[in-house]
């Protein structure tokens, strides 16, 4: 059986890209995964066209949660808020690759949940967005 722990995942875990914090983020959110104690915080800085100018994440936890957060920051950079909103579960999972068990899926999707929480807070949340977040 091939391991989920590919070289790429481990590389992002050991040498995380875009880790740190931003001085003036317009969007920020934080969440934890009570099961593992994973913590992920996301900060986004936008320009006047609502494009993601800079993005940082911070946190601690398992390789899956931290690597996926780091990969996600690279994915959103340069995208508009509207595009960020459209990022799906599948997009994140394809970044990670490999088969995850249901429990570990929570680790992988924590960063996406945090990102979307922040974005919906910024553009305004509806019942539909709340539903979407609770499904993550």
Partner 1 sequence: MLKQRWAAASNSTSQKATSHAVADTASYRKARNRQPGLAVPKNTTPTTKPPITFPRQFAQGTVRGYATQKQATAYIHRKKQYDVDKVRQDFPILNRVINGKPLAYLDSAATTQKPRAVIDELTRFYNEYNANVHRGVYKISEEATAAYEEARAKIARLINANSPNEIIFVRGTTEAINLVAQSWGRTNVGLGDGIVLTEMEHHSNIVPWQLLARQKGAHLKYVGLTDDGHLVHDDFRQHLESGGIKLVTLTHVSNVLGTINPVREYIREAHMYGCRVLVDAAQSVPHMPVDVQDLDCDFLAFSGHKMCGPTGIGVLYAKKVLLEEMPPFHGGGEMIREVHLYESTWKDPPYKFEAGTTNIAGAIGLGKAVDYVSGLGLRNIQAHEQELTEYAHDRLGKVKGLRIYGPFNPKTKAGVISFNLGDVHAHDMATLLDEDGIAVRSGHHCAQPLMERLGVSSTTRASVYVYNNEDEIDRLIESVERAGRIFKI
Name the site residues for partner 1 (rule: CB under 8 A). Answer: 1, 3-5, 10, 35-37, 60-64, 101, 104, 107
Closest approach of partner 1 to the CB of residue 90, in Å: 21
- Closer to partner 1 by CB, 35 or 47: give it: 35
Using alpha carbons, select from 61, 63, 42 the residue that is nearest to residue 115.
42
Read off the DSSP letter of residue 19.
Answer: B
- Alpha carbon 92 to its chain centroid, in Å, reads 8
- Closer to partner 1 by CB, 66 or 117: give it: 66
- Closer to partner 1 by CB, 46 or 107: give it: 107
Closest approach of partner 1 to the CB of residue 40, in Å: 13
Closest approach of partner 1 to the CB of residue 98, in Å: 10
Beta-strand ranges (E) seen in 3-129 are 27-33, 38-46, 52-60
Closest approach of partner 1 to the CB of residue 52, in Å: 28
Using alpha carbons, select from 82, 68, 74 the residue that is nearest to residue 112.
68
Q: 9: part of which helix (H) or strand (E)? A: helix 7-14
């Amino acid at each position: 059986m091939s391991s989920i722990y590919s070289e790429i995942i481990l590389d992002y875990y050991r040498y995380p890209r875009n880790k740190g914090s931003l001085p003036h983020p317009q969007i920020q959110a934080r969440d934890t995964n009570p099961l593992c104690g994973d913590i992920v915080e996301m900060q986004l800085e936008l320009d006047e066209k609502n494009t993601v100018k800079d993005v940082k994440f911070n946190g601690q936890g398992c390789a899956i949660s931290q690597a996926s957060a780091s990969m996600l920051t690279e994915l959103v950079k340069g995208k508009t808020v509207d595009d960020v909103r459209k990022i799906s579960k599948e997009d994140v999972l394809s970044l990670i690759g490999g088969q995850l068990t249901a429990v570990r899926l929570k680790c992988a999707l924590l960063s996406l949940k945090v990102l979307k929480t922040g974005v919906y807070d910024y553009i305004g949340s509806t019942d539909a967005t709340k539903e979407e977040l609770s499904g993550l």
